[in-house]
Structure 1
Amino acid sequence: MCASPVVKRDNVARILDLALDAGKGILRLTPTWVPRSFLHPGKRIKLAPTDWYALGTHRGGIDERWFASTTEAANENREPDEGLSYCVFEGQRFLLRDAVEEAGPRLIGKEIWERYRRWPVYAKFFDNMGPIPHHMHQRHEHAALTKQQGKPECYYFPP
């Protein structure tokens, strides 16, 4: 959905330094749109109507926008970078995940880096036409039994 050139992992250091300096420590991120094949878009998020099914109806409608994500979307037939946030600087883009790998504690803080060695958090806007189907996310101790990580999650429903 974005045609700007991608700076690959091994070449991120220089552009990351320039972007952080220019932004005084703040990186600009592109929107990260995620489709879900089992839900229908509520059509309230800032997305052109022609883009609600931009990846094809077989992929489902785009009904989520992810923020500061270094987590790949767990969708079938997904794009390789689906769910991952991109940083943009001077007409180029690079994955936030690569920036975190490159800059570690400088970008996310020493405590988070030493504990997780990655950025473990992201936020989402949900824009579904109907309710989210019943599902669960395990706590860390239960997920560890299957060599996975827990997924603490909370929701805010505006009035």
Structure 2
Amino acid sequence: MQRITITLDDDLLTAIDAIATERGYQNRSEVIRDLARNGLAQMQADGDQAEPWAGALVYVYDHAARNLSHRLVETAHEHNDIAVATMHVHLDDASCLEITALKGSRGEIQHFADHVIAERGVRYGRVVMIPARERGGKAHAAHTHPHAHSPAKR
């Protein structure tokens, strides 16, 4: 890690300090690193569509909508290489929240998310994507942390 010096105007520094306090950051450096990562990821969004990405699709739907639950499960099964896990939460008598973890190219993730969000009965949906490439450009290269990797169950 390198130490650098930057100059910021007072208003920008005040905004950074407010974010640090609001979100519980320990120091300004952590805030600035996260902002830089987010900015770089946003700039990368226009880059190579084949790079590995991870995403989370969050959506709320009417569980009483005709065959919607079945259609959503079928969509996930048809894209089991992209949709790797889903959490289902009952919000109330009429609404369910699902959060689906996704992996693949940016285009594949966006296509899947668009398909789910467009389903009749899905009231709200949003996808968040981040690059899944490790520093140095290798996707999940060899590493030393102690855990086993196993393929996703289908």
Q: TM-score, normalised by structure 1?
A: 0.26
Instruction: Decide which structure has the larger Cα Rg and report it.
Output: 2
- Higher-strand-fraction structure: 2
